Amino acid sequence: MRIGTAKVSREIDKVCIEKLKIPGIVLMENAALKVINNIKMSEINSFVIVCGKGNNGGDGFAIARHLHIKDKKVQVFFIGNPEALSGDCKTNYIIASNLGIKICKLNNIEDLDYFRSCISASEMVIDCIFGTGLTRKVEGIYEQVIGIINENSRNTLSVDVPSGINSDDGEVMGICINAHNTVSFQLYKRGFLKYSSNKFIGKVVVEDIGIPKEVIEEICPKEFVLHEDFIKKAIKPRDKHSNKGDFGRALIISGTEGFTGAAYISTETAVRSGAGLVTVLCPKDIQNILSCKLTEAMTINFTQKEKIEEVMCKARAIAIGPGMGNNLWTFSILEQVIEKSKCPMVLDADAINVLQDHKDIIKKSSNTLVLTPHPGEMSRLTGLDIDYINENRIKVAKEFALENNVILLLKGYNTVITDGKTTFINSTGNSAMANGGMGDCLTGLITSFIAQGYEPLEATCISAYIHGYCGEKLSNEMFCVNAKHVMEYIPYAIKEIIE
């Protein structure tokens, strides 16, 4: 799903209408029909539709017409003066009136009692008050109408945007509709990504309204919400004639005394997610512990210089950082590995922390590097305030990726994955997963998918999605989900997703 702002929506409409000469009313009709497709007609028979004076209201009058044609009970309420209507909204208002659909005006307090009783008696309220054209705080009659809908509606469907939410930044402009479902057009509105929007948008469906692909490509920034369909298409089925060599070798450089868990989790995750051969490189004093814990993966230690060279040379992906310590030793290992290896690398945890004053080594590197900071690590890495990062996640991630020529995965609510040019937002995962080891697990996953031959950006997206998917699924049955549970579930989850 493409992500977009109100400005982008307006530009798309403008190009379609003015350049391609697709009449606006055609797009409005498509939009209305897509809303109709999203209503369970066999279950719902009585509707209240609340229309504003812009094109969002126009969608509402067209929806009313289609419901009327389907013999549904439809009561439309209109906020504003019909004389002042213009354009496509006016056309659909006139058609609905000519069809004899009841349209009541909502202009003052006296109108509200009847409105309230209709809402209570209806099975669904369709909210077409404001869409992407909301420009100021919701006040007066609008505020009262939205309050009444929220208090009395059993089932509210918002058209394009829940009225009252700023579609660009998710800010509630005073008050907003608490939608059960939102049918949004063409673009997943950027404001929906804000954490607090979750409470208002309900289940969101994004519908195509007939905008030509060329227009989307020309106008929309390359920002997408990761969707199961994308992951399904991206993961390739395994050829029955393949062998372990086809699924690549992964090297995990991780762990110190007291942090064997990080090395174990990242390595074992790489094994369980399908890499052909996995080796962990760790300090000698923890090698035996890891050898006992790991069954399929191999272990080597930092004293085995020749072996290290050989494994590095054969690796198709290397992970570095989990549980290594934020110190000069880690930095010197990172520097050597970046210099000597040619394959893509995943830098996590302490491999990110040690970069604080040495970003030049990533900038200079000819390897594809994937960095996976959480907001705290991102703050240390960039020197930016953590609140600023949280408020500007996409912007900060894109700028960093572009400037340093890396793929960046910024953890947190709605994980951002970007190479600076194309950006993906992952919406899977939840707070049941907020505990130690989860990051190590993600690192193992990304490394494994790169080793299996996926492009690093694609591998990072697939991994983030699967990681969150496992957490979400497991949290249906578990109060909290640990990395061990995710690790165990991964091979089953991948199968579930692709089938």
Ligand X SMILES: NC(=O)C1=CN([C@@H]2O[C@H](COP(=O)(O)OP(=O)(O)OC[C@H]3O[C@@H](n4cnc5c(N)ncnc54)[C@H](O)[C@@H]3O)[C@@H](O)[C@H]2O)[C@@H](O)CC1
The residue ranges that bind ligand X (CB under 6 A) are 13, 24, 27-28, 31, 52-59, 130-138, 142, 159-161, 185, 209
Farthest-apart Cα atoms in the chain, separation: 86
Residue 127 contact, options K ion, ligand X, none, Cβ 5-8 Å cut-off depending on partner type: K ion
Query: Of 386, 384, 385, 319, whose CA–CA distance to 352 is shortest?
Result: 319
- For residue 493, what is the enclosing H or E element? helix 483-498
CB 276 within 8 A of CB 340: no
Q: How far apart are CA 229 and CA 499, in angstroms?
A: 11
> Closer CB to K ion, residue 158 or residue 279?
158
| C-beta atoms surrounding 16 within 10 Å | 21
CA torsion angle for 71, 75, 79, 83 (degrees, to 10)? 60
Question: What's the closest the beta carbon of residue 38 comes to ligand X, in angstroms?
Answer: 14
Question: What's the closest the beta carbon of residue 108 comes to K ion, in angstroms?
Answer: 22
β-pairing, 223-225 with 156-159?
unpaired
**Contact characters 445-464, K ion, x per CB under 5 A:** --------------------
> Closer CB to ligand X, residue 178 or residue 267?
178
In order of 15, 67, 215, 377, the CA distances from 355 in angstroms are: 45, 60, 41, 10
> Closer CB to K ion, residue 159 or residue 308?
159
Question: What's the closest the beta carbon of residue 153 comes to K ion, in angstroms?
Answer: 13
> Closer CB to ligand X, residue 90 or residue 359?
90
Question: What's the closest the beta carbon of residue 55 comes to ligand X, in angstroms?
Answer: 3
CA 417 from centre of chain:
9
Question: What's the closest the beta carbon of residue 154 comes to ligand X, in angstroms?
Answer: 23
CB 162 within 8 A of CB 125: no
In the sheet with 317-320, reading across from the earlier edge strand, the strands are 223-225, 423-426, 415-418, 407-410, 369-371, 345-347, 317-320, 249-253, 277-282, 298-301
Residue 96 contact, options ligand X, K ion, none, Cβ 5-8 Å cut-off depending on partner type: none
> Closer CB to ligand X, residue 157 or residue 209?
209
> Closer CB to ligand X, residue 24 or residue 283?
24
Of 13, 29, 88, 127, the one binding K ion by CB under 5 A: 127
Residue 185 contact, options ligand X, K ion, none, Cβ 5-8 Å cut-off depending on partner type: ligand X
Residue 158 contact, options K ion, ligand X, none, Cβ 5-8 Å cut-off depending on partner type: K ion
Q: How far apart are CA 46 and CA 155, in angstroms?
A: 11
Question: What's the closest the beta carbon of residue 369 comes to ligand X, in angstroms?
Answer: 40
Residue whose beta carbon is closest to K ion:
163
CB 489 within 8 A of CB 474: yes
**Contact characters 156-195, K ion, x per CB under 5 A:** --xx---x--------------------------------
**Contact characters 190-229, K ion, x per CB under 5 A:** ----------------------------------------
235-271 b/e (C-beta count within 10 Å ≥ 16 → b): beeeeeeeeeeebbbbbbbbbbeebbbbbbbbbbbbb
Phi-psi label, residue 174: left if phi above 0, alpha if psi -120 to 50, beta otherwise: left
In order of 181, 188, 245, 343, 379, the CA distances from 203 in angstroms are: 5, 12, 43, 41, 32
The size of the interface with K ion (CB under 5 A), counted in residues, is 4
Binding piece for K ion, criterion CB under 5 A, among 24-32, 123-131, 328-336, 476-484: 123-131
Query: Of 186, 447, 156, whose CA–CA distance to 322 is shortest?
Result: 447
Phi-psi label, residue 101: left if phi above 0, alpha if psi -120 to 50, beta otherwise: beta
Question: What's the closest the beta carbon of residue 212 comes to K ion, in angstroms?
Answer: 25
Question: What's the closest the beta carbon of residue 219 comes to ligand X, in angstroms?
Answer: 14
Question: What's the closest the beta carbon of residue 182 comes to ligand X, in angstroms?
Answer: 11
Question: What's the closest the beta carbon of residue 56 comes to K ion, in angstroms?
Answer: 5
Q: Is 132 in the site for K ion (CB under 5 A)?
A: no
Residue 142 contact, options K ion, ligand X, none, Cβ 5-8 Å cut-off depending on partner type: ligand X
Residue 202 contact, options ligand X, K ion, none, Cβ 5-8 Å cut-off depending on partner type: none
Secondary structure E strands in 163-315: 181-185, 188-189, 203-207, 223-225, 249-253, 277-282, 298-301
Question: What's the closest the beta carbon of residue 103 comes to ligand X, in angstroms?
Answer: 17
> Closer CB to K ion, residue 158 or residue 287?
158
| C-beta atoms surrounding 298 within 10 Å | 17
**Contact characters 140-159, K ion, x per CB under 5 A:** ------------------xx
> Closer CB to ligand X, residue 13 or residue 377?
13
Residue 294 contact, options ligand X, K ion, none, Cβ 5-8 Å cut-off depending on partner type: none
> Closer CB to ligand X, residue 133 or residue 147?
133
> Closer CB to ligand X, residue 53 or residue 249?
53
> Closer CB to ligand X, residue 27 or residue 50?
27
Task: Determine the length of the chain.
Answer: 499
Sequence-ordered list of residues with C-beta below 8 angstroms from that of 302, at least 6 positions apart, any chain: 281, 282, 283, 284, 308, 333
Hey, what are 467's tokens?
Answer: 């990681």
> Closer CB to K ion, residue 126 or residue 346?
126
Residues that bind K ion (CB under 5 A): 127, 158-159, 163
